[in-house]
Amino acid sequence: MRTPVAIIGAGPSGLLLGQLLHTYGVDNVVIEQRSADYVLGRIRAGVLEQVTVDLLHEAGVGQRVQAEGLLDDHFVIAFNGQVHNIDLLARTGKRVTVYGQTEVTRDLMNARAAAGLSTVYEADDVALHGFDGSSPYVTWRKDGVEQRLDCDWIAGCDGYHGVSRASVPADKIQTFEKVYPFGWLGILADVPPISHEIVYANHERGFALASLRSPTRSRYYVQCSLQDQVSDWSDDAFWAEFAARLPAALADKITTGPSIEKSIAPLRSFVAEPMRFGRLFLAGDSAHIVPPTGAKGLNLAAGDVGLLSRALAEFYKEKSSAALDDYSRRALARVWKAERFSWWFTTMMHRFPENGAFGARMQIAELDYLMSSEAMQTAVAENYVGLPL
Ligand code: FAS
Ligand code: PHB
């Protein structure tokens, strides 16, 4: 088998890259280690930047997000028992769209199948070969049979634990990492959300986040210990802690109900440099991770594949590799700014016992200043709606 571009991973990065390349007339094959159902079963991001929505439209899969996505023109910050708005539309002229990553993935999977594009699910022992030369190829085992795909380029869209970044020789890659001393316990429940806007709460008991997937489905999080297990948290325990961390005006709006998904995610900041190694490009979580506080993970992944798809299209249509040669620099410039915002927002909103009473006061002082400064609110708003590609 042969294809111009082999894409490793059928998460949002891999599927969006595949769809954009198809739109630009560049054939590609996606190779995924899990089943489609398994990929769809992961509950992750919920907020899309306009750049991401525009890319979904460019890829021909913008219909449902246009029809069902909820437009938010502000988000909420709660602290000291008070509720404050960060007015995105007034500060930037832009909004964010609330639409779950699961639905983005579903739309991309359906479009890929409708276009008759080749996707290999449940591929075992995926391995990358020859990407330091001019004849890269990918091998895997499917139903016990060894397979090989020759290609011009490999796109490593296989996430933080994938094989792509791990295939790069250690002396050719530099990584930067910060692991946070807590996790997020997330719950999905078919109950009406307390707000159609995203609510971020700084509280002495710990951080809480209120989000949604639709007017009837809520997505809530509380900061938890890394020693916690999901089994330590009954639904009742979650609802009680969630309410305790919100101002009364918001806690009174909580409708409780049984969880349909409950999971704990660790938080880290991570970047691998560069994002290109010969004929291998890294995109999305394979190259970088942000703490989800700033709702940047999925959006950074979309930005990477927006740049990479256009650069690959230029290579095939105009026989120029200029944009490919500049991909890593351009992608990393945007990645590091999102890493900064996500780190700053996480540091400001979560409880860090090791920082003591002074550290807690510095957080409140930062929040007080934010709410008193139009300049700072504009800076926060332009990072939250997403920086230009
Ligand atoms: P993904 O990890 O989504 O996809 C990679 C794909 O590659 C997977 O399907 C995997 O099975 C496959 N793969 C892995 N190894 C492979 C191999 N060897 N061979 C073939 N395939 C392989 N972001 C937000 O903005 N907000 C959030 O609230 C949020 N919550 C998150 C919660 C969790 C638990 C995690 C892990 C991430 C969260 N994120 C969040 C970030 C998340 O949304 C990512 O940014 C997004 O999934 C990135 O998409 P991909 O780069 O496609 O990586
Ligand atoms: C979500 O809806 O899952 C979500 C929203 C905003 C965030 C993180 C997660 O910052």
Strand partners, 41: none
Contact 70, 212 (CB under 8 A): yes
Cα–Cα distance measured from residue 54 to residue 5, given in angstroms and rounded to the nearest whole number: 23
Burial class (CB in 10 A: 0-12, 13-18, 19+), 34: middle
Q: Which domain holds residue 138?
A: 2-49+96-177+268-347
With a 6 Å cutoff on the Cβ, whether 47 touches ligand 2 is yes
Query: Is the dihedral angle over the CA atoms 366, 371, 376, 378 positive or is it negative?
Result: positive
Please report the pLDDT score of residue 297 as a whole number: 97
Cα–Cα distance measured from residue 338 to residue 331, given in angstroms and rounded to the nearest whole number: 11
Identify the segments of the chain with pLDDT beneath 50. none
Quick check: is 54 in a domain? no
Quick check: is 272 in a domain? yes
Distances (CA, A) of 151 to 13, 22, 155, 280: 19, 16, 11, 11
The closest of 67, 152, 153 to 103, measured between CA atoms, is 67
Q: Which atom of ligand 1 is nearest to the CA of 295?
A: 25
With a 6 Å cutoff on the Cβ, whether 298 touches ligand 2 is no
Strand partners, 139: 127, 148
Task: Give nearest CA residue, ligand 1 atom 13.
Answer: 158
Quick check: is 387 in a domain? no
Cα–Cα distance measured from residue 256 to residue 244, given in angstroms and rounded to the nearest whole number: 14
Task: Give nearest CA residue, ligand 1 atom 40.
Answer: 45
Please report the pLDDT score of residue 313 as a whole number: 98
Please tell me the distance between residue 98's alpha carbon and the centre of ligand 2 in angstroms: 9
Distances (CA, A) of 350 to 55, 62, 360: 32, 34, 9
Which ligand minimizes its atom distance to the CA of 48?
A: 1
Task: Give nearest CA residue, ligand 1 atom 9.
Answer: 11
Other CB atoms within 10 A of residue 380 CB: 23
Quick check: is 197 in a domain? no
Q: Which atom of ligand 2 is nearest to the CA of 292?
A: 8
Quick check: is 216 in a domain? no
Q: Which atom of ligand 2 is nearest to the CA of 98?
A: 2
Please report the pLDDT score of residue 12 as a whole number: 98
Q: What is the pLDDT of residues 239-265, one digit of tens each?
A: 999 999 999 999 999 999 999 999 999
The answer to whether the peptide bond before residue 136 is cis (omega within 30 degrees of 0) is no
Q: How far is CA 350 from the centre of its chain?
A: 19
Quick check: is 293 in a domain? yes
Ligand 1 probe mutation, 298, 341, 383, most atoms within 8 A of CB: 298
The closest of 298, 305, 302, 201 to 251, measured between CA atoms, is 201
Query: Tokens in use for 274?
Result: 């560069």
With a 6 Å cutoff on the Cβ, whether 117 touches ligand 2 is no
Intra-chain end-to-end CA distance of the chain, in Å = 34
Cα–Cα distance measured from residue 213 to residue 196, given in angstroms and rounded to the nearest whole number: 10
Quick check: is 18 in a domain? yes
Cα–Cα distance measured from residue 305 to residue 302, given in angstroms and rounded to the nearest whole number: 5
The pTM for the full model equals 0.96
Q: What is the pLDDT of residues 292-343, one digit of tens each?
A: 999 999 999 999 999 999 999 999 999 999 999 999 999 999 999 999 999 9
Q: Which atom of ligand 2 is nearest to the CA of 186?
A: 3
Quick check: is 132 in a domain? yes
**Beta strands in 244-346, from DSSP E residues, in sequence order:** 259-273, 276-277, 280-282, 288-289
Dihedral class, residue 265 (left if φ above 0, else alpha if ψ from -120 to 50, else beta): beta
Please tell me the distance between residue 45's alpha carbon and the centre of ligand 1 in angstroms: 9
Please report the pLDDT score of residue 350 as a whole number: 98
Instruction: Give the domain CATH number at 308.
Output: 3.50.50.60
Contact 282, 156 (CB under 8 A): yes
Please report the pLDDT score of residue 43 as a whole number: 86
Please report the pLDDT score of residue 231 as a whole number: 97
Structural domain count of the chain: 1
